[in-house]
Structure 1
């Protein structure tokens, strides 16, 4: 679908209450396959590729150049425009990692479009100065080297080392997603993400049901960080997925789906 200045690739499966899931970095919409397969007989699942990821390209200007920075607000505006194009006023909005922060940005700017939220392995804090420098340095590295060396380096942080060994199909899927991501898209997102605001204040004003999920062994967003976010969000529900790192929806899909299914059944 053409939204704003890009053609958004997305899957739209099932019927009933719409659920929009936002992938993390540096992945694509296929990361949500276990959830779409599990729930699309009960709910309508919409899973897009963000601009610069998967099959959704960055916009190109009249000179053929692409933006060097994609702020979270641009991703959020794309999602709202996608909902408009689909004729949807409100959705359950979920996201993992960067996708969770994009969901927070949608809530900050367009709270009326959300009926419930699922925030997985994510945190609301703005980057520190050191964090901003690191993201910008990684962006330069990805442009210089491509995604393959980075993907190999971070695989056992995205999923636990044990799951790299014991779940080879999951590990291969995660590697394919990372290696297949556009360096320009990933770099632009990293630069934009480095400038994100702190979402704690807007999360404290959430008035819809929220499920907060985290892998028990997540190195990027440790359990204690996610517990702090849970404490900020009024009435939120916290679920910790044992045996999983940063991608519990892929590492422990049965446990993740059970938690999500219970939450959706209770709030919808």
Structure 2
């Protein structure tokens, strides 16, 4: 584990493999960079340098209470990669991480060689959704993470994938700092609509989703795929919201095909 001080905070990150071909992976909520361990292990052996960091408020990075907009997360990613002297790279993210990828593309699109949008969606939050996210933020600050983590586990991971995968996901959620998770929820409630951005993406793009995902169903992935020119769509059978952990081989194969084009 390494740390870097950027944008006034400390970020914990993994940087494995070597070479000029760089894959950067952004975790979702309420997880940490350990969700990408199967991908770090796989792709560092195939000629790629792979970087995965804990977002501010999660894992081993600084917890910043209040509101964390997606632009702050994207700015942290950019600053960390500046610190590591990485200029261009393939950028992937899952769920909230996918929305951070879209925000990064909006702000720093000249730096990306390819995109991976996993189990995410592009539209702005609805009025009802903003209320729900802010109410959940209030609840996490009041009660901590345990109740929420128990309620959503079998939406994050399909029940037939119970075992080490569900234990890992449960552990990440329970260990997430409530203040950091709440700040991210408030920031996501105010996120912009990325629909118009989708049509401007010119780098190779993979849209991937679990077939059983209730949070971001296949229809959300199809929405993005239809609007990103030349994008690939992969639906991972038997996975819910965490296909990179639930169906590692299928997910990695889809990413391999994307990397071959980037």
TM-score by length of 1: 0.94
Matches for 1:1-268 after TM superposition, within 5 Å: 1-16=4-19, 17-41=21-45, 42-59=47-64, 67-164=65-162, 168-265=163-260, 267-268=261-262
The RMSD of aligned alpha carbons is 0.8
* Cα displacement (A) at 1:262: 1.9
TM-superposed CA distance for 1:58, in Å, is: 2.3
1:39 Cα offset (Å):
0.8
Cα deviation digits, residues 56-87 of structure 1 (max 9, x gap): 0124xxxxxxx310000000000000111111
Question: Structure 1, residues 151-199: CA drift from partner, whole Å, max 9, x if none?
Answer: 01100000112222xxx11111000000000000000000000000001
1-structure distance, mates of 2:116, 2:55: 18
- SS at the partner of 2:230? coil
- 1:63 corresponds to which residue? none
CA distance in 2, matches of 1:170, 1:129: 34
- Deviation string 1:76-112 (CA, Å, 9 cap, x unpaired) is 0000001111111111000000000000000001111
**TM-score (norm: length of structure 2):** 0.97
Q: Distance in 2 between matches of 1:70 and 1:225?
A: 24
Following TM superposition, by how much is the alpha carbon of 1:47 offset from its aligned partner in structure 2, in angstroms?
0.1
Secondary structure in structure 1 of the residue aligned to 2:192? coil
| Paired residue secondary structure (2:58) | coil
SS at match of 1:243: coil
Question: Which ranges in structure 2 are unaligned for 5 or more consecutive residues?
Answer: none
- Stretches of 4+ aligned residues off by more than 6 angstroms: none
